[in-house]
Structure 1
Amino acid sequence: MTTPDPIRRFVEATNAGDSEAFLETFTADALLTDWGRSFRGREQIARWNRTDNIGVQSHLDIVRIAPSDGACHVRIKVAGNGFNGEGDMTFTLDGDRIASLIIS
């Protein structure tokens, strides 16, 4: 499966440390859930980004991607000053933006 554009931009913005571009990958009312912690809307996602993503210099590499019940299931490798290792992300897209992201 080819990486959908919003997911590609999500990874590129994270790796570039570009918080503005990162937040633009999400819809205004997007939901991000990180191991049970929920963040709704760009303002709350920005807070998560500062503490768990770009704020800890995360670098993401897609290991594999597959469609999953109307969503995209992505196995991702993370390195940086926070979590390091592989994990799963499930993206639901709305046009050219991310409507929800579940990290598990």
Structure 2
Amino acid sequence: MDDLTLPTAITNFITATNDADSEQFVAQFAPDAFLDDWGNVYRGPAEIAKWNQTDNIGKESQFALQDFTQDDAKTWTVHLSLTGKGFNGVSPFRMTIKNDLLASVEILPD
């Protein structure tokens, strides 16, 4: 990793998942945010909360930061190692920040 610092919303996304704190997890997203999990798109806090229960904290996911790059002023690609009762492995997440919250999270095929 270089000397860049990840935005708080991204570090909170990781910490909330690892702490199984669903309320804090959803709070990291802007009201009009979306989460794209390999083409399945979840829009707004209610849908993102459902995804969180079926595919993230509900699967006891744990994230370990591998590395990251800043793609532009508002977008980061974060490589996370995932373990739990769902997907296990390293996956890239493209995250866009708006007003200090996550505007979008795209989970990309590796």
TM-score by length of 2: 0.92
- Aligned-residue Cα RMSD (Å) equals 0.7
In structure 2, the gaps of 5 or more residues are none
Q: Give the whole-Å Cα distance in 2 for the aligned partners of 1:3 and 1:60.
A: 15
Letter in 2 for 1:101: V
Partner of 1:54: 57
Of 89-98 and 62-71, more deviation after overlay is shown by: 62-71
Paired residue secondary structure (1:13): helix
Aligned counterpart for 1:76 among listed residues 80, 88, 93? 80
**Deviation by residue 1:80-103 (Cα, 9 ceiling, x = unmatched):** 010000000000001221000000
Aligned counterpart for 1:103 among listed residues 81, 100, 107? 107
Q: Give the whole-Å Cα distance in 2 for the aligned partners of 1:11 and 1:35.
A: 19
Q: Give the whole-Å Cα distance in 2 for the aligned partners of 1:45 and 1:63.
A: 24
1:69, CA displacement in angstroms?
Answer: 3.2
In structure 1, the gaps of 5 or more residues are none
1:2-81 matched pairs, under 5 angstroms: 2-70=5-73, 71-81=75-85
Deviating beyond 4 angstroms after TM superposition, the runs of 4 or more aligned structure 1 residues are none
TM-score by length of 1: 0.97
Q: Give the whole-Å Cα distance in 2 for the aligned partners of 1:61 and 1:95.
A: 25
Paired residue secondary structure (1:69): coil
Of 66-75 and 37-46, more deviation after overlay is shown by: 66-75
1:4, CA displacement in angstroms?
Answer: 1.2
Paired residue secondary structure (2:6): coil
1:3, CA displacement in angstroms?
Answer: 1.7
Paired residue secondary structure (1:101): strand
Aligned counterpart for 1:94 among listed residues 81, 98, 102? 98
Q: Give the whole-Å Cα distance in 1 for the aligned partners of 2:97 and 2:5.
A: 14
